[in-house]
Copies of this chain bind each other. A is one copy, B any other.
């Protein structure tokens, strides 16, 4: 139905996550309608991001050079490492302004069913950092999902062996602030109950 260049653009767009065939078609039509400058700016931005942005050699966060902004920042405490699944998880953590240490991006969570084993995520690199540096605490901030929890338990276990003096902590699970008890699922509510604090 479409000329080959249009077909190719629709195919490339529909490879993006959450973009189906129809959305890809709508986006392609938009690109066809917009000015050459706007379309070129989008193409250039894609190329630029791949050329200029790499991975931090220490924590595997996104970085413009060999090291990311956080690892380059002397004010960040190198004694505390927060472990996250993906680099996208760092931004919401930073928004809290609660954490002043450094990060470690695993690049995924353990999931034997999907074939993600310990050697497929950056665990060896984490253990090397924890044993080599002056680290005192590792905060495990993997997602509160089955795979995230399994990953957290696995890391805690390993760290107790390779670095017994390091404190290993996990982000609290419980009721979201502003949430309604009536609508909380029982797992979350159970966690909130188990993690209750004296007032």
Residues of chain A touching chain B, judged by Cβ–Cβ distance below 8 Å, are 1-3, 5-6, 8-9, 11-13, 15-19, 23, 25-32, 36, 38-50, 52-53, 62-64, 69, 86-88, 91, 94-95
Contacts and interface: CB of A to CB of B under 8 A. Distances in A.
Given A23-B18, A36-B50, A42-B46, A64 B3 contact: yes
Contacts of A6: 49, 53, 62
Contacts of A39: 46-47, 49-50
A27 B16 contact: yes
B48 A5 contact: yes
Contact of A15 (B5, B18, B38): B38
Contacts of A45: 5, 8-9, 11-13
A49 B18 contact: no
Contact of A46 (B31, B52, B63, B64): B31
Given A5-B64, A31-B46, 17 more contacts: A1-B94, A3-B62, A3-B64, A5-B45, A6-B53, A8-B48, A8-B49, A17-B27, A18-B26, A18-B27, A29-B87, A32-B87, A36-B50, A39-B50, A40-B46, A40-B47, A40-B50
